[in-house]
Amino acid sequence: MIDDDAVLTRTEGRAGHLTLNRPRALNALTHPMVTRIAEALTAWERDPAVQAVVIGGAGERGLCAGGDIRMIHRDVTAGGGAASRAFWRDEYTLNARIARYPKPYVALMDGIVMGGGVGVSAHGSVRIVTERSRVAMPETTIGFVPDVGGTYLLSRAPGELGTHLALTGASVGAADALLCGLADHVVPSELLPALTRDLGADPVPDVLPRYAVDAPAGTLDGQREWIDHCYAADTVEEIVDRLMAVGEPAAKETAETLLAKSPTALKVTLAAVRGARALDSLERVLEQEYRASCAALARPDFVEGVRAQVIDKDRRPRWAPAALAEVTDAQVAGFFAPPADGDLRLADAP
């Protein structure tokens, strides 16, 4: 049961504040939380006294670890997934709304920011990471596919960096988040309280220069050569072959990481990222992601992946199919067919 304080709202001066407040669950998102965020954004959009919105997470571990996977797992196994589809409809609508919000939307991406946490932060107009930030879309580990607009963001990262992050689910720190277009500014975590205080008194462009610092060194820029070469391949099988053959220890480790993921999720994710590159808006990509998410509910790998990683925690998923070669093109295409209960339509909304 989610209590009424799972999202705290308050105004201080010129800023409206949203605090995700489930620290014991690493602020994992639920449907009521998404509804509450949307209601607050509506109220503040109409309130001339609120000039900016700031979102952060309670506790010391991070902004948000993603959607509440345990709840989705229970819904799929007991209820067929109808509640999860309704949750995603509202969540993805919120993701698109954040990207179009008419006032500055400041996301404090401190600590762990994964999955749904990326959705409520990385589409904002001002995205702040810290030396503690770990940003990721780790869905292939649980037999799922990056969503909440993640394939939109990653498809627009330089070269093939986004493909690498989407398939591996690897987390990145501050510098690599900036490089990949997932964040805009670095602020030391110890300065976030002061920055938050100042946002209540002064406009966002006046406050940021007081606190932003240069990003520390990252890792992805130095790996661009083998990443861009390997992930330019047309299939996941060829990507793995290139990673094994390129002669870089990090590339070989990456190949081994991929081979432990859901083969179906890997192939669908590659198709989703490539498809997102060809789509002209976040809304179109979210519509594509909704199809893939709904399809994943009806496949065995999602339930099995959550069991292995979250429920039983044995870290030994039994994927079906178990090998990349056994996943057919027709199976992948099925993830992009309209769901039985209808598409999500955002791009045509007024």
> Residue 13 catalytic?
no
Among the listed residues 68, 75, 110, 139, the single catalytic one is 139
- Could you tell me the strand order of the sheet in which 134-136 lies? 62-64, 112-114, 134-136
Give the residue carrying structure tokens 């406009």: 203
DSSP track, 14-71: TEEEEEE--GGGTT-B-HHHHHHHHHHHHHHHS-TT--EEEEEESSSSEEE--B-HHH
| Token pair recorded at residue 25 | 């669950």
Among the listed residues 67, 81, 117, 119, the single catalytic one is 67
Q: From CA 214, how far away is CA 129, in angstroms rounded? A: 11
Enumerate the H helices of 161-235 as residue ranges: 161-168, 174-179, 192-199, 204-211, 224-231
User: H or E element: which one contains 250?
Assistant: helix 249-259
> Residue 117 catalytic?
no
Q: From CA 238, how far away is CA 223, in angstroms rounded? A: 19
> Residue 67 catalytic?
yes
Strand pairing partners for 19? 8, 56
3-state secondary structure of 218: coil
CA 99: distance to chain centroid?
14
Q: From CA 35, how far away is CA 87, in angstroms rounded? A: 9
| Token pair recorded at residue 315 | 């870290």
Among the listed residues 57, 116, 149, 162, the single catalytic one is 116
> Residue 287 catalytic?
no
Quick one: residue 158, left, alpha or beta (phi over 0 = left, psi -120 to 50 = alpha)?
beta
Q: From CA 105, how far away is CA 24, in angstroms rounded? A: 25
3-state secondary structure of 134: strand
Query: Which are the contacts of 144, defined by CB distance < 8 A and separation ≥ 6?
Result: 262, 265, 293, 296, 301, 302, 305
Among the listed residues 91, 147, 283, 304, the single catalytic one is 147
Residues taking part in catalysis: 67, 116, 139, 147
